[in-house]
Amino acid sequence: MINVVLLQQTPDPEKTIALAAKLCYSSSGIDQLRERMSVSDIGTFLEKIMSLGHESVLEHASFTFGIEGISRAASHQLVRHRVASYSQQSQRYVKHDDVFEYVVPDSIAGRPELAERFEARMRELHAEYRSLLAEGIPAEDARFLLPNAAATKIIVTMNARELLHFFRLRCCERAQWEIRKLAVEMLKLVKGVAPVVFREAGPECVSSGCPEGKMTCGNILEVRQRFATL
């Protein structure tokens, strides 16, 4: 099961972003700008700059997530987002000789006969992996047996601008189911600490049209409603 925790973020991220944006258009000093800013002023100003597409200032706010229970298949997709920092549990240094955690797709878990076959194969792979370790094979070589289903842990840091891009791609119904679940959980967390910035965050169709063309899921209204009440 995917478990996502927001470990930390830029203190008062929306104030930091608003301050950076105001500085671009003001002759006042930074301390003066900070003193003048009120909560209502921050919200109104953020809405304005975001409507104008002034997204570079969003890079001043960063968010760090602790993620557990995703598969290596999902983490390989995640790290393709290059404007981010990652620290992932190593299969080279961390041995899975006692406990081997893995992810079972719902499409398999929902069919008992297939789920049994899948889990039997996972047990076989783990037994062979342990056998190689017992024979003195280094974990960095024994890991070649481990499947994409192997669970992993990873810490991820992204700035607000990159997160919006990440959500546009990975919250889409066309995204692979596991990274979509991960993206939605991450979005729920950042909405709580930066509600104005992430008010319209989600797949592309939340704020504009569907970019998928003939590959569209065809459920734009349903998707918009779901993310409006996320």
Query: Tens digit of pLDDT for each residue in 3-52?
Result: 999 999 999 999 999 999 888 887 788 888 887 877 778 888 898 888 88
Q: Which of 39-48, 147-156, 171-180, 205-214 has the lowest mean pLDDT?
A: 39-48
Looking at the fold, whether 59 and 171 belong to one and the same domain comes out as: yes
Looking at the fold, whether 117 and 169 belong to one and the same domain comes out as: no
Among candidate residues 149, 168, 188, the one where a domain is terminated: 149
Residue 220 banded pLDDT, cuts 50, 70, 90: very high
* pTM, 2 dp: 0.93
Looking at the fold, whether 63 and 168 belong to one and the same domain comes out as: yes
Q: Which of 101-105, 137-141, 225-229 has the lowest mean pLDDT?
A: 225-229
151 half-sphere exposure, CB direction, 13 A CA radius: 16
- Structural domain span for residue 160: 3-86+152-228
Among candidate residues 149, 169, 195, the one where a domain is terminated: 149
Looking at the fold, whether 82 and 15 belong to one and the same domain comes out as: yes
Looking at the fold, whether 108 and 181 belong to one and the same domain comes out as: no
Hey, which bits of 72-197 come out as E strands? 85-88, 151-159
Question: According to the model, what pLDDT value does residue 58 have?
Answer: 96
Looking at the fold, whether 156 and 222 belong to one and the same domain comes out as: yes
Looking at the fold, whether 102 and 196 belong to one and the same domain comes out as: no
**114, 108, 105: which is closest to 151 by C-alpha?**
105
Looking at the fold, whether 29 and 51 belong to one and the same domain comes out as: yes
Looking at the fold, whether 72 and 158 belong to one and the same domain comes out as: yes
Q: What is the mean pLDDT of residues 110-117?
A: 98
Looking at the fold, whether 26 and 9 belong to one and the same domain comes out as: yes
Residue 208 banded pLDDT, cuts 50, 70, 90: confident
Question: According to the model, what pLDDT value does residue 25 have?
Answer: 80
Q: How far apart are CA 103 and CA 3, in angstroms?
A: 13
Question: According to the model, what pLDDT value does residue 53 have?
Answer: 84
Q: What is the mean pLDDT of residues 142-146?
A: 97
| Domain count for the chain | 2
Residue 77 banded pLDDT, cuts 50, 70, 90: very high
CA 4 to chain CA centroid, Å, is 9
- DSSP-derived letter for residue 150 is B
Looking at the fold, whether 159 and 74 belong to one and the same domain comes out as: yes
Looking at the fold, whether 128 and 22 belong to one and the same domain comes out as: no
The residues that are catalytic are 170
Question: According to the model, what pLDDT value does residue 197 have?
Answer: 95
